[in-house]
Amino acid sequence: MPQSVESAANSAALATGRPAVAGRSAAMAQKEFLTFRLGAQEYGIDARTVRQIRGCAALEGIGDAPECVAGAIDFGGAMVPVVDLRHCFGLDRVAGSIFTVAFMLDLDTQVLGVKVDSVSDVVRLARRQIRPAPATWTGPDVQYVVGVGVDDDRNLILLDIEKLLLDQGVGLLEIEAC
């Protein structure tokens, strides 16, 4: 069932007891991140880019698509490619579960979907809670990390999802409707 980011934020607020809407001055100093899991690691992306969260049961296969594309999903009458982030990070593909979701991202030039193991919640992080990625981190994926968010006892790897998707070769992918 589709879920908006606002709905996810309100659900998270009810579960944690934190307010879903912050005051104007607090909102200026905070940024919202949609958090999700790939395996045991938790990540966050700018929540403003997320248009909708959906289950992955309706993914349709696509021929001749880049290997990272898990399929396509009908979104407002258009077929939107859905990228499997497990593939992007070199993780083994696993069978989907009831928690596996795709979220539709409204990027600068188009709408793209991203498949993840599960969505956690929407968190607000103050600037002081966002730290740079440690200099000791290496590997090809570190170029997509914009920082580490520290929220209570959680450390979230914060990603530049638009750069990641464009570098994976799906930025200009067009899918014809069936």
Q: What residue ranges define each of the domains in the chain, with the CATH number in brackets? A: 5-167 (2.40.50.180)
If 0-12 CB within 10 Å is exposed, 13-18 middle and 19+ buried, where does residue 25 land? exposed
> Rounded to an integer, what distance in angstroms lies between the CA atom of residue 62 and that of residue 72?
7
Highest mean pLDDT pick, 91-95, 104-108, 164-168: 104-108
The string of pLDDT tens digits covering residues 23-33 is: 444 445 789 99
Residue 169: CB partners within 8 Å, gap ≥ 6? 66, 68
For 64-90, how does the pLDDT look when each residue is reduced to its tens digit (9 = 90+)?
Answer: 777 788 888 888 888 888 888 988 888
Given a contact cutoff of 8 angstroms between Cβ atoms, the answer to whether 165 and 50 are in contact is no
Between the ranges 6-15, 34-43, 51-60, where is the mean pLDDT highest? 34-43
Higher pLDDT, 77 or 170: 77
pLDDT of residue 74: 86
Where do the H-state alpha helices sit in 30-151? 85-88
How far is C-alpha 173 from the chain's CA centre?
18
For the sheet containing 30-38, what is the strand order? Answer: 118-126, 30-38, 41-46, 154-159, 145-151, 130-131
**Among 132, 15, 139, CA closest to 89:** 139
pTM score > 0.85 for this model? no
Other C-beta atoms closer than 10 Å to the C-beta of 135 total 7
Instruction: State the DSSP H helix or E strand holding residue 75, giving kind and residue range, or none if neither.
Output: strand 69-75
CA pseudo-torsion sign 130, 119, 53, 123: negative
> Whole-angstrom Cα distance, residue 110 to residue 162?
10
The more confident residue out of 28 and 135 is 135
